[in-house]
Amino acid sequence: MRVALVTGGTAGIGAATAEALQAAGYRVAVNYGTNETVAHAFSARTGIPAFAWNVADAAACRDGAARVQAELGPVEILVNNAGITRDAMLHKMSFEQWREVLDVNLGGCFNMCRAVIEGMRERRFGRIVNMGSVNGLSGQAGQCNYAATKAGLIGLTKSLALEGASRNITVNLVAPGYTETAMVGAVPPDVLAQILKAVPAGRLATPDEIARGVVFLVADEAAFITGITLPINGGKYMA
């Protein structure tokens, strides 16, 4: 049974992904940042163990990955899902709002890949899926920080795909559109209504619909799919 680790995996798209992977027969662990109450409830409901660390902290990622591997075995599948928003127009954005989003969304992906990639190379197997966003493709007013990280993840994904290909390590990115999550729930209702008008499907995605893409990409049978961006956005932006 292959071992999968999902960061930011106790809620939203991460939780749906962890549960979909479990249902598909993987041994799953999730990481979370600080919300112990949500994490305990998630583990109690699903039986999936949850480990706390900050993905923006490189040493914490090394230690966290080591804890997961000691308990479950080598991480063969990594889903870099942890992400945050600090939305503001650039002329109102503080350096802290810029930095925090870069450190978690982009730095977190580097830190976690760095923590598991040597093992994947040695074992000559790995599946990495990074969580992008439609806004990394289209841009979004109020999200210069977030969109920059999500676009940056595409470059990281393609570069690491090149590095891993000869070792049977695939690296892909799923780019969700607006999805039924707390993150999207925090968008002002009038702004969200405007955004929804630009979604041909006329609705938000469900977290399960995003998880479907991840399960597809991490399968053993998906060995020849690497370096891609898989948009799941109801037609909002066709890259």
Asked if residue 134 binds ligand CAA (CB under 6 A), the reply is yes
What is the number of the residue whose Cβ is closest to ligand CAA? 142
Kindly tell me which residue out of 22, 43, 46, 140 binds ligand CAA, with binding defined by CB under 6 A: 140
Query: Is 146 considered catalytic here?
Result: yes
Asked if residue 60 binds ligand CAA (CB under 6 A), the reply is no
Per the residue annotation, which of 26, 32, 146, 178 is the catalytic one?
A: 146
Q: Which two tokens stand for residue 206?
A: 């469900």
Kindly tell me which residue out of 3, 170, 178, 213 binds ligand CAA, with binding defined by CB under 6 A: 178
Q: Which amino acid is at 63?
A: D
Part of the chain binding ligand CAA (CB under 6 A), chosen from 127-135, 157-165, 203-211, 215-223: 127-135
Any idea how long the chain is?
A: 239
Widest distance between CA atoms in the chain = 51
Task: Please report how many Cα atoms fall inside a 13 Å half-sphere around the Cα of residue 7, on the Cβ side.
Answer: 32
Q: Closest CB to ligand CAA among 3 and 84?
A: 84
Q: Closest CB to ligand CAA among 73 and 188?
A: 188
Are 85 and 148 spatial neighbours (Cβ–Cβ below 8 Å)? no
- Rounded distance, CA 140 to CA 147, Å? 7
- Rounded distance, CA 18 to CA 22, Å? 6
Q: Scan residues 62-91 and list those touching ligand CAA (CB under 6 A).
A: 85, 87-89
**Is the torsion defined by CA of 26, 27, 31, 36 positive or negative?**
positive
- Rounded distance, CA 188 to CA 182, Å? 12
Q: Closest CB to ligand CAA among 132 and 164?
A: 132
Nearest CA among 35, 108, 103, 30 for reference residue 67: 30
Residue 235: strand, helix, or coil:
coil
Interface pattern 1-40 for ligand CAA (x via CB under 6 A): ----------------------------------------
Q: Scan residues 181-200 and list those touching ligand CAA (CB under 6 A).
A: 183-184, 187-188, 191, 195
List the catalytic residues: 146
Summarize as ranges the residues that interact with ligand CAA (CB under 6 A): 85, 87-89, 92, 133-135, 140-143, 146, 178, 183-184, 187-188, 191, 195
